[in-house]
C-alpha cells in the first residue's frame, strides 16, 4: 500500500481545520468537557472529513485524469475501487464515533454524511448549489462540536451560517484554480468574507467580548484578503489556488475567533496553535 498516496487523499492540513471546528462548537455551548467521551467527536470529524475528501477525488477521477493527473487516483497510486472503499469506511467510522458520544451527535453526523455525498455526487459542479452544500457540510461540522451539550439553543445553531458563507466563498472561487477564472466571483467572495468578519464582531460585541475577538478577526483578514486581492488583480490559476489554500487553512483562525467571541480565550489560543501544524502539513500535502 502506498501510504503517502492515501495520506494525500486525506488532505492532512485540512483535517486539522476540522478539529478546530469541533473545538469552536464546544466553546459556543460552554466547553464543559467531562471525561474522555468528547474525543469521540474529534475522531468523528476526522473520519467524516477524511471520507468526504477521499470520495471527492473518487468522483472527480475522470476530470483529474485531464486536469490533475498527478493525483493519487489518476496516477494509479490508488485504485478507484480502493478509494471508494476507503472513503466509505471512513464515513461509516465517523458515524459510529458520533453515535458513541450521544444519539444527537450521531444524527448530526448522519446529516453531514448526506451532505457530503450530495456535494460529491450531485452538487459539486453546480455554480449555485455546490458552494451552498459545501458550506453546509462545514456548518454541520461546527454543530457537531456543539453537540457536546445535550441541548443546543436555536441562537447557537444559527451561528453555523457563518462557516456556510465562508466556505461557500472558497468553493466558489476554487473553480478557477486550474484554468484561471473571472474577477466577479473573487469580488463576491471578498464580500462574503467581510460579512463573516462583521457578524463575528457583532456577536462578540453583544456577548461583551469584542476586544478579545478583534485581534483574531484582524489577523484572519490579514491572512486571507491579500491573496484574494492578488488573485483579483491577476485571476490566473496559481494565484487563485493560493487564495483558496489560505482560505481553507485559515478556517482555524475563524474558529479561534468563535471561541474568543464566547469568552474562551485559552481555547481560542489553543485552536490558533493548530495553524502552524496545518501550514507545515500543507507544504507536503495538497490542500485542494
HEC-encoded secondary structure of the chain: CCHHHHHHHHCHHHHHHHHHHHHHHHHHCCCCCCCCCCHHHHHHHHHHHHHHHHHHHHHCHHHHHHHCCCCCCCCCCCCHHHHHHHHHHHHHHHHHHHHHHCHHHHHHHHHHHHHHHHHHHHHCCCCCHHHHHHHHHHHHHHHHHHCCCCCCCHHHHHHHHHHHHHHHHHHHHHCCCCCCCCHHHHHHHHHHHHHHHHHHHHHHHHCCCHHHHHHHHHHHHHHHHHHHHHHHHCCCHHHHHHHHHHHHHCHHHHHHHHHHHCCCHHHHHHHHCHHHHHHHHHHHCCCC
**Residue 260 zone, left/alpha/beta (φ > 0; ψ -120 to 50; rest):** alpha
Q: What is the pLDDT averaged over residues 250-256? A: 98
Residue 2: predicted pLDDT:
86
| pLDDT confidence tier of residue 32, bands split at 50, 70 and 90 | confident
Residue 118 has pLDDT above 80, yes or no: yes
Summarize pLDDT for 206-250 with one digit per residue, the tens.
999 999 999 999 999 999 999 999 999 999 999 999 999 999 999
Does position 1 have pLDDT exceeding 80, yes or no? Answer: no
Confidence at residue 142, expressed as pLDDT on a 0 to 100 scale: 98
Q: What is the mean pLDDT of residues 118-123?
A: 94
Instruction: Kindly state the average pLDDT of the residues 89-115.
Output: 98
| pTM for the predicted model, two decimal places | 0.96
Q: Please report the pLDDT score of residue 175 as a whole number.
A: 85
What is d(CA 149, CA 31) in angstroms, rounded to the nearest whole number? 8
Write down the pLDDT at residue 277.
Answer: 97
What's the chain's length in residues? 288
Alpha carbons 257 and 259: distance in angstroms, whole number: 5
C-alpha cell at 179: 484554468
Percent of the chain whose predicted confidence (pLDDT) is above 90: 89
Q: How confident is the model at residue 82 (pLDDT cuts 50, 70, 90)?
A: very high
How high is the pLDDT of residue 139?
A: 97
According to the model, what pLDDT value does residue 178 have?
A: 78
Nearest to 19 by CA among 48, 55, 57: 48
Amino acid at each position: 500500500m502506498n501510504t503517502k498516496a492515501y495520506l494525500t487523499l486525506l488532505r492532512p492540513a485540512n483535517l486539522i481545520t476540522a478539529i478546530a471546528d469541533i473545538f469552536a462548537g464546544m466553546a459556543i455551548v460552554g466547553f464543559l468537557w467531562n471525561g474522555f467521551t468528547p474525543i469521540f467527536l474529534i475522531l468523528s470529524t476526522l473520519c467524516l472529513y477524511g471520507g468526504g475528501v477521499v470520495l471527492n477525488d473518487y468522483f472527480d477521477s475522470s476530470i483529474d485524469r485531464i486536469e490533475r493527473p498527478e493525483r493519487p487516483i489518476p496516477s494509479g497510486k490508488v485504485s478507484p475501487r480502493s478509494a471508494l472503499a476507503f472513503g466509505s469506511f471512513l464515513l461509516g467510522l465517523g458515524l459510529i464515533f458520533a453515535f458513541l458520544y450521544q444519539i444527537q451527535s450521531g444524527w448530526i453526523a448522519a446529516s453531514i454524511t448526506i451532505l457530503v455525498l450530495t456535494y460529491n455526487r450531485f452538487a459539486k459542479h453546480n455554480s449555485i448549489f455546490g458552494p451552498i452544500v459545501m458550506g453546509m457540510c462545514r456548518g454541520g461540522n461546527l454543530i457537531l462540536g456543539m453537540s457536546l451539550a445535550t441541548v443546543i439553543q436555536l441562537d447557537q445553531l444559527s451561528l453555523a451560517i457563518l462557516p456556510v458563507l465562508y466556505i461557500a466563498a472558497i468553493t466558489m472561487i476554487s473553480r478557477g484554480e486550474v484554468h484561471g477564472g473571472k474577477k466577479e466571483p473573487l469580488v463576491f467572495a471578498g464580500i462574503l468574507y467581510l460579512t463573516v468578519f462583521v457578524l463575528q464582531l457583532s456577536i462578540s460585541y453583544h456577548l461583551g467580548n469584542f476586544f478579545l475577538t478583534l485581534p483574531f478577526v484582524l489577523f484572519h483578514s490579514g491572512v486571507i484578503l491579500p491573496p484574494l486581492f492578488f488573485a483579483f488583480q491577476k485571476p490566473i490559476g496559481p494565484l487563485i489556488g493560493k487564495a483558496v489554500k489560505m482560505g481553507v487553512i485559515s478556517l482555524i483562525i475563524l474558529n479561534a475567533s468563535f471561541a474568543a467571541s464566547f469568552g474562551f480565550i485559552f481555547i481560542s489560543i489553543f485552536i490558533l496553535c493548530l495553524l502552524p501544524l496545518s501550514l507545515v502539513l500543507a507544504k507536503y500535502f495538497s490542500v485542494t
